[in-house]
Every structure is written in structure tokens, then in C-alpha cells.
Chain A
Amino acid sequence: MARLIGGRGCITFRAHPKAFLSKDHFMKFTGTDNYVATDDLMTAVNAAITLERPLLVKGEPGTGKTLLAMEVAEALGMPLYEWHIKSTTKANHGLYEYDAVSRLRDSQLGDDRVQDINNYIKRGMLWESFVSDKPSVLLIDEIDKADIEFPNDLLRELDRMEFYVYETQETVSAINRPVVIITSNNEKELPDAFLRRCFFHYIRFPDEETMEKIVHVHFPDIKKRLLKEALEVFFSIREVNGIKKKPTTSELLDWIKLLLAEDIDPEVLRGDSTKAIPQLHGALLKNEQDVHMFERLAFMSRRQDG
């Protein structure tokens, strides 16, 4: 069974046994050299491609949401346009921005450029992907970071794949409808009207078996015993009730990197999760309260043992 190999940064190849590529479906996503998608993810991606609707991907941080768009682009041989959303991002930013200030300045200086308004219109990622000469992938990353109304402002543009530029009075319509992939960290609820138009996929946190593979991909030489102990500690931390920030895949990888660098003996890790806070916990626990809680738990369990 194909498994998602996620995590931040570099990803390594695992061959996918199921080849869906067929003549009548020339654009089909089956995972790539670097990214092996789960079956449900592939179905969702392919539905989004075939029906030309956006695909909304949710999931815990560190499960490879953003990476998905990059890998889809690579698999389909399409250019990728990335639009990263911040809390201050407005829907317009993706379409275009009119730099009136520069134009005013130029007009004061008598620059010839000023005659053509097009010189002052900066294209956004949506525009770029609409006019791309071959079909493209458009990533709208972390849409939940923006204001709650943000997705609604993009409804028409994503639906019709066109928008109107007031300054030049032209309509920009997509030459090739891009494959739109939208990621969300669940920080805000997305509006229903927006959700209705998307396909939806939820990437789950990798289970222990998958995680083992992911770690192996990053640290092929890791000793079995160290890996086993480290994963045990990692998953037991994630299971602790009331922890404020659960460590993610990328944090696990950082931690293992540290363990390897410091050459920590697996024996030291054994029992760590109950008797003491884990070695080099700084990579896993990023919240003061979490660290405190662990210290307390560790103290209590030591007392029980003693």
C-alpha cells in the first residue's frame, strides 16, 4: 500500500506500485519520485484535476500539505505558482496590485512610462497562473491565515477563473484553468460557500509504521534500536493529555538529528518518557508550560518508583 511520505524539506523516492497512468487519463496524479501519496489523496487530487475544481487540503502541521502542491506540479510537469497567505493578505493581492504611488511619482518626474498604465499593474499569482502558456498548478498556502472573509472574496475568481481589471478595463480569463490546491491549518473556519466549491482532503498524522518509513527516508543509517526508542518517546509525548503543542514530524526529525549528532545511547532514551523529560527535549517541546508539565510528570513518576 502506498503511503504518504511527509515531513519538511527533502523527501526521498519510494516507488509506487499502482500505476494509474493510462492513455485516456493523461493527466493523472500518482505520486512522484519524492512523494508517495495515499490512495485517498490521489483520488481527491485526480477529482480536482478532472473537474477543474480547487482541492482543499487540511491536516496537522508537518504532514506535508504544502509539499503536495509542489509534487503535483512536478508529477504533471506543470509550472507551480505559489501564493503564500499572511494575516494581512487581501484577495486582491492574488489578482493584481495597481501601484498608483509609483505612477504619481513618475508623473511628477516626467517619466514616459507614466503614459501606459500597464507599467504600474503588478500581476498577482492568480493572474500569472491564468495566463501561463501551459496548464499550471496554483498553490494557495495557509488560506486560514487571512481574514475570515478572504476565501469568499475569491469565490468568483476561482469559479469562473476570470477577473476584471478596473484600471485597464480588461477581463483576464484563464487560458488554461490551473489546478488549484489550497491548504489550511484549521486556524479559522472557512466559509460554507467556499467549501461547497472545493474537493476536500484531510491528511492524517502519520501512524507509527509510516513515521518509521519517513525517518528512514531522512536518516537511512539510523540504528533500529535508537529509532524504536525515539519513536516510542515521540508518540508517548503526543499522547500526553493536555499538552499544548504536540510535536510534529519535522520536530521529530530535528530531534533525531540531534540524538544522532550527540550520539545518544538508546538505553538512555528507554523509560525516558516516564522518568524524566526526554534528552534534548528542546527539539520536541516548544512551550514552556509543556516542559513544566513534563517535569512534573517525571517528578511524580520518580516518586512513585522510589
Chain B
Amino acid sequence: MFVDFFYQLREARIPVTIREFLTFLEALDKDVARGNIDEFYFLSRASLVKDERFFDTFDLVFGNFFQGAMNKTEGLLEEYIPEDWLQGVAREMFSEEEIDEMSFEELMEELAKRLQEQDGQHHGGNRWIGTGGTSPFGNSGQNPRGFRMGGEGGGKSATKMWQKRDFRSLRGETEIGTRNMKMALRRLRKFVREGAEDEFDLDETIKSTADRGGMLDIKMRAERKNKVKVLTMFDIGGSMDSFIRISEELFSAVRTEFKYLEYYYFHNFLYERVWRQNRRGYNEWIPTHEVMNTYGSDWKAIFVGDATMSPFEITEVGGSIEHWNEEAGELWLRRFLATYPDAVWLNPVPQERWMATPSIRMTYQLLEGRMFPLTVDGLDAAMKLLRQGRQAASRH
């Protein structure tokens, strides 16, 4: 019976492996959960699910499966029956008044009776509905006594932990995206020897000892550390609003991945000023020049923006929609790229639309093609390029 459970978990896309399943069976065999359904639930969760993001899904599957199993032992529900089907049948067979009048048990009994009568005609012989208990009925909303899952029912334990769905907030589908991004960003990691000399340098020691005619001369060196410097520039102009979430995801991924990370925000396009904070507090800007002077060209610049605007915002003096810019955005971007020649631009707009949007096309050309879609693959390609740029530069 647990094999079914295992497959249901897998169907629900919880990454359970056979090894974990065997561990679970072994634990059952050794009496870790002693006949108490709650303990059984805790044990199965601890052994089968290794990530809190799947706890909620697990609760659902567990609830479904063992609701069925419990009813089965009482001979009440023969088979798992899809919720929609049951609701459909119920609506088909009972009038509103009937549903209102009858208790849940009566309703179920009646339903079973009627279904048996027309067995084989409409819904096939195997789908049989039992009486009472809690079936995976969901909340049809028609009858408070009727189609309700959880709470009452034939279960023996007072509180069913899995029905509370305490872990719903941990589902976090977005986190998976962040993780993918992290993996892609990891490509950028660059190891540099820095700090105290606390690592034994075998090669140097041998060489130096040999040089001194066999008198031992120990050489130490600093350990390798991840030291890549990233300068991210986020567009928080109005047109980016719909992409803010995806940008922030990238941002959070970037934050944990590098030791040196600076982030600035720009509005629509790069002009003579950038912002340190993502709220559009207008007064706290920093001259773009200052940014370029502060961070040397060994920093990796990453732009995140949709580059979607009217072309004159890029090309014209005074083109900015927010302020009078003395110099065109194009000029500023060129200056910036002169300092950070490897800079890449990540664009959340789907790649197919790039060439159809003049401003994206222009930005793409300014960056000499180093624009990538904000997808895992795009990110991967962008990081690869940033890294290669570095390798070429460090060969000197």
C-alpha cells in the first residue's frame, strides 16, 4: 500500500527516491512510529521530503492518500474518486433542497444507493461511492454539512497536522528560479589568492629548499578565495514595473553569490545620475561619473533592464522623460562601456521581440550584441561571456 503512496508523491513531483523510500520502510520496521498516525506522518515527512518547499505538496498527497486508506479500512470508500466527478454527480442527482435537508451521511448513503441502481449505465461499474467518512470532496460550497474535507470524518486523531497546511507559505515556486540563477551566476566565481599566508606551498618549498642546498625553507601562500566584483545596474523605470519581481529575484541571487557586489539603479536609461536605492527617492542620486571612478574596470558590470522606451530617450539631449539631461543617454552608455568593456545587459523582454523594438535594437548595438534574455540559458551565456572576457584580459 505504501508503494502507491510513493508513486503518488512522485506524481506530485516531489523528488522522492527509492533509497529514501526504503529508509522510510526500514524506519517503520524498526517501530520508529508506533501506531500513532501523527508520528507516522512526521516520520514519512522526515524521511521522504528533504526540502521544506515540498512540505505543502506532501501534506496534500498524504491527506489524499491516507484519507482514502482510512476509509478503505472501514469499508467506506472503495476507490479514489476524482473530486470533480463526485461533485458533478451530486449536482446531477440531488436537488438543492435535498442537499440542504439531508445530513452528510444521509446524502452519501442516498448517493451510493442511486449510483448502484444505475451502475454500468452512466459512469461505469468500478466507480463506486461509499457512505460517510471524508472523501476527497473538496469544498463545493453547496452544503456546509456535505462536501467538506477534513475536520469531522472518521479519522481517529484529533488534529490532522497535514490538513492544516502549515507549510503553504513555504512552497515558493519562485525560489526555484532563484536557484537556477544562482547556478548560472556561479560561473562568474573567480578565485584569487588573498589574505593571510596560511597554505603550504609545496612547489615553492621544494624549489627553495633545493636552492638552499637541502636546508628546509618553507614557503606559505594565501588561500584562494572567491573574489569577483560585480556592479549591477537595475532599471527601475516605469516600463520595468512588470519585471520588477524577476529583477529582484536576480538581485537576491546575485547578493549571496559574490563577496563584492555593488548595485545601482537607473531610470529607463543610463544618464548622468544613478540611484543607490530602489525607491525612486529623487534626491539621493549619485553622479554616474563617480560610480565609474569608484569602481575600476576589473569590476563586472551587469545591466538589468528592458531597454524599452522611445528611441529619442537614448539618442537625444534632453530625451529623458524625467529630467533635462545635458548629454544623451547613448553617450553615457558609451562612456560606461569604455570603463567596463565586458558589460552585459540582461533583458527580461522575450528575445523574439528585441529586433522589433527600436530602442532595444539600439541598446543591443551599443553593447555590441552582449545582450541576453533573462532566462537561465541567457544568464548562463552572459556569465560565460563575462568570464571569458576576464580570462582574455588576465592573460596579459
Seen from chain A, the residues whose Cβ lies within 8 Å of a Cβ on chain B are: 25, 39-40, 43-44, 46-47, 50-51, 53, 55-56, 58, 88, 100-101, 104-105, 107-108, 148, 187, 189, 192, 195-202, 204, 289, 292, 296
CB-based contact A47/B200 at 8 Å: no
Given A50-B30, A289-B277: A200 and B42 within 8 A (CB)? Answer: no
Given A100-B200, A199-B47: A51 and B30 within 8 A (CB)? Answer: yes
**Nearest CB of B to A53, in Å:** 7
Given contacts A40-B46, A51-B30, A187-B256, 16 further A-B contacts (CB under 8 A): A43-B39, A46-B32, A47-B46, A51-B23, A51-B26, A88-B223, A101-B218, A105-B216, A107-B216, A108-B215, A196-B20, A196-B50, A198-B50, A199-B23, A201-B46, A204-B166
A-B contact pairs, 8 of them (CB 8 A): A39-B39, A39-B42, A40-B42, A51-B27, A51-B30, A56-B50, A196-B17, A196-B50
Given A39-B38, A43-B43, A101-B218: A296 and B279 within 8 A (CB)? Answer: yes
**Nearest CB of A to B379, in Å:** 16
CB-based contact B216/A108 at 8 Å: yes
**Nearest CB of B to A120, in Å:** 13
Specify which chain B residues have a CB less than 8 angstroms from the CB of A58 in the assembled complex: 52
Nearest 5 pairs between A and B by C-beta?
A43-B42, A44-B46, A195-B50, A202-B52, A40-B42
Q: Which residue of A lies closest to B170 (CB)?
A: A202
User: Number of contacts between A and B (CB, 8 Å)?
Assistant: 77
Assembly CA distance A55 to B27 (angstroms): 13
Assembly CA distance A125 to B38 (angstroms): 35
CB-based contact A47/B43 at 8 Å: yes
Specify which chain B residues have a CB less than 8 angstroms from the CB of A296 in the assembled complex: 279
CB-based contact B27/A50 at 8 Å: yes
Q: Which residue of B lies closest to A289 (CB)?
A: B277
0/1 string, B13-28, CB within 8 A of A gives 1: 0010101100100110
CB-based contact B42/A53 at 8 Å: no
Specify which chain B residues have a CB less than 8 angstroms from the CB of A108 in the assembled complex: 215-216
Assembly CA distance A196 to B14 (angstroms): 13
Q: Which residue of A lies closest to B161 (CB)?
A: A40
Seen from chain B, the residues whose Cβ lies within 8 Å of a Cβ on chain A are: 15, 17, 19-20, 23, 26-27, 30-33, 38-39, 42-43, 45-47, 49-52, 55, 161, 166-167, 170, 179, 182, 186, 200, 215-216, 218, 223, 256, 277, 279
Assembly CA distance A56 to B51 (angstroms): 10
Which among B30, B33, B55 is the interface contact of A202 at CB below 8 angstroms?
Answer: B55
CB-based contact B46/A200 at 8 Å: yes
Which among B32, B45, B49, B166 is the interface contact of A51 at CB below 8 angstroms?
Answer: B32
Assembly CA distance A195 to B14 (angstroms): 13
Specify which chain A residues have a CB less than 8 angstroms from the CB of B17 in the assembled complex: 196
**Nearest CB of A to B169, in Å:** 10
**Nearest CB of B to A62, in Å:** 16
Specify which chain B residues have a CB less than 8 angstroms from the CB of A88 in the assembled complex: 223
CB-based contact A47/B50 at 8 Å: no
Given A104-B218, A196-B19, A292-B277: A43 and B52 within 8 A (CB)? Answer: no
Specify which chain B residues have a CB less than 8 angstroms from the CB of A189 in the assembled complex: 179, 182
Q: Which residue of B lies closest to A109 (CB)?
A: B216
Specify which chain B residues have a CB less than 8 angstroms from the CB of A202 in the assembled complex: 52, 55, 167, 170
Q: Give the most central of B19, B30, B46, B167: most A CB within 10 Å.
A: B46
CB-based contact B45/A40 at 8 Å: yes
CB-based contact B15/A192 at 8 Å: yes
Q: Which residue of A lies closest to B47 (CB)?
A: A199
Assembly CA distance A21 to B160 (angstroms): 24
Assembly CA distance A55 to B47 (angstroms): 10
**Nearest CB of B to A52, in Å:** 10
Specify which chain A residues have a CB less than 8 angstroms from the CB of B167 in the assembled complex: 202
Assembly CA distance A282 to B259 (angstroms): 25
Q: Which residue of A lies closest to B17 (CB)?
A: A196
Assembly CA distance A53 to B43 (angstroms): 13
CB-based contact A200/B49 at 8 Å: yes
Q: Which residue of B lies closest to A46 (CB)?
A: B32
Q: Which residue of A lies closest to B198 (CB)?
A: A88
CB-based contact A50/B32 at 8 Å: yes
CB-based contact B46/A43 at 8 Å: yes
Q: Which residue of B lies closest to A147 (CB)?
A: B226
**Nearest CB of A to B321, in Å:** 24
Specify which chain B residues have a CB less than 8 angstroms from the CB of A196 in the assembled complex: 17, 19-20, 50
Assembly CA distance A277 to B38 (angstroms): 43
Assembly CA distance A72 to B225 (angstroms): 35
Assembly CA distance A74 to B168 (angstroms): 34
**Nearest CB of A to B244, in Å:** 11
Specify which chain A residues have a CB less than 8 angstroms from the CB of B186 in the assembled complex: 148
Given A58-B52, A187-B256, A292-B277: A199 and B46 within 8 A (CB)? Answer: yes
Assembly CA distance A144 to B281 (angstroms): 36
CB-based contact B32/A43 at 8 Å: yes
Specify which chain A residues have a CB less than 8 angstroms from the CB of B47 in the assembled complex: 47, 199-200
Assembly CA distance A197 to B20 (angstroms): 7
Assembly CA distance A192 to B30 (angstroms): 25
